[in-house]
Amino acid sequence: MRIRFRAAALAASAAALFPAAWAVIAAMPPFGEHVSPYGAAVNAVVPAARHVSNMVAAVNFDLRGLDTLGEESMLLCAVTGTVVLLRGARGEGTSGSAVRLPGRAIAQRSDATILVCRFAATLLFFFGVYVALHGLVTPGGGFQGGVIIASGLLLLYLGEGYAHWRSIVRGRILSFLEGAGALLFVLVGAIPLALGKAAFRNILPLGTLRDLYAGGTMVVVNAAVACAVAGGFTLILLEFMEETRAPETEREPGEGG
Amino acid sequence: MIWLTGIMLVIAAAAGLLVVLSRNPKRQIFALCANGLVLSLLFFALQAPDVALSEIVVGAVVVPLLFLVALAAVAVARVRK
Amino acid sequence: MSVLPWCVAAWLFAVGIYGIATSRHYVHLVGCLSVCQSATYVLLLAVGFHWHAGPPIFYDHPPGTPAVDPVVQALVLTDIVIGATVTALLLAIVVQAHKLSGSVDPQRLRPLRPNA
C-alpha cells in the first residue's frame, strides 16, 4: 500500500472515529471520583482473609491466579518463539568474538567499567532477590524481582566480556529456570485439584499478617514467577547477543575472545 | 497533588510523541528510556508503586537494551551479505 | 482535569497508530507499538485512581485506610512485563525479515508469494 493512500486512510478513519471517541470520553466518570466495587472489596477483605499486605500481589497470585498463569504461558511462548526464530536460522553453536563492522574502532574495556559493573551487577542481583522475596508485604513481587535479576545479569556482560559472561550465564541453566518456574506454577494450580478442592486453592498454612512468608501458596507462586521471568528475559537477551557474534570460520588467526 | 498528576500526564503525552517523532532508531532508544522514566513517575503519582517499579526496569532498561541489540544484529547481518 | 487522563490515553494511542502507519523502519515501528501499549496502562491506572487515597499496600497503614484499586494495578503489572517479551519476539521477527529480504523498510517489503 502506498504511503499517501495509507495516510489518507488513516486520516479518514481518525475523522470517522473522533466523534465516537469524544462521546466515550464525555461519558467516562470524572477522574478520581469513581470507586470500583471489586477493588474496594479486595482492599477490605483480603488482609484478614489471606494475611498479606500487598493487595496487588494477592490479586496477581491468589485471587486471579488463573490470569497470571495465562500471562506466564504467554511469556513462555514468546521466549520460545524468539529462541526458535533466532537459533533456527543461526544454528546451535556459540562463538566468542564479535563481528567486525567496517569503520568502527574496537574500544578496550576500561578498568573503571569492569570494577563498577562487578559491584553493580552483584548489588542488582541481590536487590532483585530482595524485591522478589518481599513481594507479599511491600511493593514488589516476582515480576519486578525477576526483571531486576535479568538486568543485573546483563550488566555482568558489560563488565566481563562475552566469553567470560557465557561461561557464567549458561543457556541450559536459564532454560531450566524458566521451565521450572512455569511448571511450579502449574503444579500449584493442579495439586489442589488432585486433592479434591478447587484449582489454585490456597492449601498451605497462611501465617501471620506482615510476616515475610505469610500467604500460603502465594509464596511459592511468587518464587516461581521470579525464576521464570529472570530466566526468560536473560535467555532472550542472550539469544539476541548471539546474533552479533562472528562464526568460527571468520576469525583471523591470533584473535582472542 | 492535583497539579502534579496533571503535569505528569501532560509530560507523558509529550514523551510518547517524542518516541514516535524520533525516526532514527538509534535516537529512538533514548526517547524510549525517557518515556519509560516519565511513565514510571506518572504511575507513582497515580499511587501504583508496584507498577512503577516494573515500568522503570522494563521501560528504561530492558526494552532499550533489546532495541540496541536488535539494531546491532541488523547491522551485522547487513555486513555479512 | 477530570477528562485529562482519558484524553491523554486516546492521544497516546492515536500518536502510536500514526507512527506505525507512517514508519520507514521496522524497529521504529515496534517502538511506536510500545507507545500504544502505554496508552492502555495510563487508561487502566486512571480508572482505578481515587483522590486522597493511598497505594493498596497495608504494611505501614492499617487495613482500612482508603486505597486505590489493586485489580487494575495487577492487570497493568503483568501487562508491562509480558509486553516487553512480545516486543522481543517482534524484534526477532524483524531481524529474520531483514535476513530474508535485505531491507527493514515496511514500504519495500512485499507479501510472500508461493512461487517467488
Instruction: Please say whether the dihedral angle defined by the alpha carbons of residues C11, C14, C20 and C22, taken in this order, is positive or negative.
Output: negative
Is the pLDDT confidence value at A197 over 80? yes
Confidence of residue A94 (pLDDT cuts 50, 70, 90): low
- Does the CB of A126 have a partner CB in chain B at under 8 Å? no
- Does the CB of C110 have a partner CB in chain A at under 8 Å? no
Q: What pLDDT score was predicted for residue A99? A: 72
Contact between C77 and A233 using a beta-carbon 8 Å cutoff? no
Confidence of residue A256 (pLDDT cuts 50, 70, 90): very low
Is the pLDDT confidence value at A1 over 70? no
Query: Within chain A, where are the H helices?
Result: 3-27, 37-50, 55-58, 65-90, 111-133, 142-160, 162-168, 171-194, 217-243
Q: What is the mean pLDDT of residues A118-125?
A: 94
pLDDT tens across C22-45, in order? Answer: 999 999 999 999 999 999 999 999
What CATH topology corresponds to C4-101? Helix Hairpins (1.10.287)
Please give the residue that has the higher pLDDT: either B20 or A103: B20
* CA separation for the pair A220, A187 (Å, rounded): 10
Q: Residue B26: CB partners within 8 Å, gap ≥ 6?
A: B71
Contact between B79 and A101 using a beta-carbon 8 Å cutoff? yes
Is the pLDDT confidence value at C1 over 90? no
- Closest by CA position to A128, among listed A106, A157, A111, A152: A152
Percent of chain C surpassing pLDDT 90: 77
pLDDT tens across C44-97, in order? Answer: 999 999 999 999 999 988 988 999 999 999 999 999 999 999 999 999 999 999
Contact between B77 and C98 using a beta-carbon 8 Å cutoff? yes
Whether this model's pTM surpasses 0.80? yes
pLDDT tens across A9-35, in order? Answer: 999 999 999 999 999 999 999 998 888
Q: What are chain B's partners, defined as 3 or more CB pairs within 8 angstroms?
A: A, C
ipTM attached to this prediction: 0.92
- Does the CB of B40 have a partner CB in chain C at under 8 Å? no
Is the pLDDT confidence value at A257 over 50? no
Chain A residues 103-142 with a CB less than 8 Å from chain C: 137-139, 141
Mean pLDDT of chain B: 93
C57 backbone dihedrals φ, ψ, rounded to 5°: -120, 120
By the 8 A CB rule, do B71 and B26 touch?
yes
Is the pLDDT confidence value at A251 over 50? no
Q: Residue A201: CB partners within 8 Å, gap ≥ 6?
A: A192
Distance to chain A for B64, nearest Cα, Å: 11
A245 backbone dihedrals φ, ψ, rounded to 5°: -90, 150
Q: What pLDDT score was predicted for residue A207? A: 87
pLDDT tens across B36-50, in order? Answer: 999 999 999 999 999
Residue A172, judged by CB atoms within 10 A of its CB (0-12, 13-18, 19+), counts as: exposed
Mean pLDDT of chain A: 88
Q: What is the mean pLDDT of residues A52-70?
A: 93
Distance to chain B for A125, nearest Cα, Å: 13
